[in-house]
Amino acid sequence: MENVKIGENKAFSVYSLVLLLAIYGGIVITSVFGNLGNLSVLDIGPLALPSLGLFVLICLLAVWRRKLYFLFLVFAILAFPAPIDDLFISVPLTNPDDRTQVVFPMITRIDLYLILGILLGVLGKGGKLRVIKFSLSLKVLLVLFLFVFLVNIFKSLDLWDFNLLLAYSFHLRYAILFLVLLQLYDIKNYQKELINGFVISLVFLLLEAYINTLMRGSTRLLSGSLSLNSFANISAAISLFVIVLLRHRQIKRSLGIFTLAVAMIILIGSATRGAFLTLILAYFLMYLLGNHRKIVLNTLRVAAGVALLLGAYVWASRNSHIPDRYSYQEIAKKIDINLSKNSLNEVIKIKSSRETNSIKSRIDLFDASLNMVVANPVTGIGVGRWNRHKNLYSENDRVPRVLLDTHNDYLALVSQYGIPLGLLFSWLIFFYPFYLHAKSKQKETGPLSHLYVINFAMGIAALSNSGFFKHQIAALLLMCFCITLQLHKDYAKAD
């Protein structure tokens, strides 16, 4: 039986690497003939070359010392300056008649940094790659991905559609690269570097956002590398991760408090309602579900905590102690629900206002996404194509002609990958790490054993934001997922 499992893992290791090389090969080929698929290189801005210099510098430091590679891993993924993307061949995400034109690189600096780590690891192992140990769910995911990918290639309207598939294959590319990377290094030896990398990334994001906000003259803290919602939500997720580390004494108190302060500045400055809700809901839910033996007692505690918070919120709303944007009274006045209607934007009618515009636009986006799911339930419309085809599935052209996303990761996944693969992706990325931690006998095996917190929190944020379709957020979540999976396997083997 053991030999059968080894054989299966070898076969899937070869299959995943061949699939990865095929995608990169497709990107190279289509880039050579880029004029046939709307590919282009953006006008190189003044910050593109300095960001390239910074990237070369951290790569040289990584070559010099492996610990520096892992110190800068989170930074390269999450916080690295976006202008470097101007240097890559890119594909348009928006339609020609959209008000602004936005492109996305076919290959990203995250691809390059992960490939560098693999090359360094292979050289350190004498030129040998280790067999990847695949769980059943990962095997199913790989097989489903190939099926969905091939079907959507044949459903492509043109080469532009095909290039969008290739560009947004970063979900699979990053996943395979992380799985390979973690076979080459004992990640337990780099826990301190990765935790410090989170701190460096948050500090850099705050400084970069502060400069960007001053340049734009905005009243809200805006990142130049991440969208507003993703910026706030990932900060909330990391802050919750640090809270758990402090609770388990897995981080120095001074460093933890400093990191929390930086994250709170980002949350308050960005003034994003969803991020605050993510922080609160994720904490309560993890507390409730974390120990099944005390689930009744935990339920009572969580219910009391929620009742207390809701009571304070209602009191503050009624007494005008919070801004109208956050007041349930102001929001409720502008929402009318009619269950006799069919489409979502008719069931929930929302008057346009400063307090409700965000909710109103989400309802229209959800409605278009649901129409995509109904029309393409098994294989979706194809990953990366949502923005291009959004108005084909919206009623009366309700979705604005600008770069948008579903504002809901679950709808994004099922509308672009189809229901089977979308649901499997949702479970694996957001909640499977928490499941592994909850059933593990070894609860405290170093700070990295708590990375599940970030995935879980972003799973809550996914209800109102499509963070997993921002490649930086996707890469971070896939890193946390793969590390959790690897640590679980290592500790299970040790037992």
pLDDT tens figures, 323-332: 655 555 555 5
Q: What is the pLDDT of residues 196-226, one digit of tens each?
A: 999 999 999 999 999 999 988 888 899 988 8
**Sign, CA torsion 435/436/439/444:** negative
Kindly report the average pLDDT of the chain as a whole number: 84
Query: In DSSP terms, which residues pair with 337 in a beta bridge?
Result: 348
Does residue 27 have a pLDDT over 80? yes
Cβ–Cβ contacts within 10 Å for residue 280, how many?
A: 16
pLDDT greater than 50 at residue 24: yes
pLDDT in tens, 446-483: 899 999 999 999 999 998 888 999 999 999 999 999 99
Residue 4 pLDDT:
47
pLDDT for 332 equals 58
DSSP for 294-341, please give it: GHHHHHHHHHHHHHHHHHHHHHHHHTT-S-GGG-HHHHHTTEEE-TT-
* CA nearest to 421, candidates 180, 172, 153: 172
Residue 363 has pLDDT above 60, yes or no: yes
Model pLDDT, residue 414: 96
Q: H or E segment at 350? A: strand 348-350
CA distance 258 to 404: 34
Contacts of 451 (CB under 8 A, 6+ apart): 241, 433, 480, 483, 484
- Considering the chain, what percentage of its residues have pLDDT values greater than 70? 78
Q: Residue 293: is it exposed, middle or buried by C-beta count within 10 angstroms (0-12/13-18/19+)?
A: exposed
**Which stretch of 112-126, 279-293, 350-364 has the lowest confidence by average pLDDT?**
350-364
> 492 or 230: whose pLDDT is higher?
230
Considering just the CA atoms, what is the radius of gyration of the chain in Å? 23
The CA-atom distances, in angstroms, between 354 and each of 307, 328, 358, 396, 439 are 28, 13, 8, 23, 45
**Which stretch, 44-48, 332-336, 423-427, has highest mean pLDDT?**
423-427
Would you place residue 283 in the very low, low, confident or very high pLDDT band (cuts 50, 70, 90)?
confident
Q: Which carries the bigger pLDDT value, residue 456 or residue 442?
A: 456
Of 89-93, 151-155, 239-243, 335-339, the least confident: 335-339
Q: Using DSSP, state whether 6 is helix, strand or coil.
A: helix
Most confident residue range from 12-21, 171-180, 439-448? 171-180
The predicted structure's pLDDT at residue 387: 86
Q: What are the boundaries of each domain within the chain?
A: 2-290+395-494
The mean per-residue pLDDT over the stretch 407-414 comes to 93
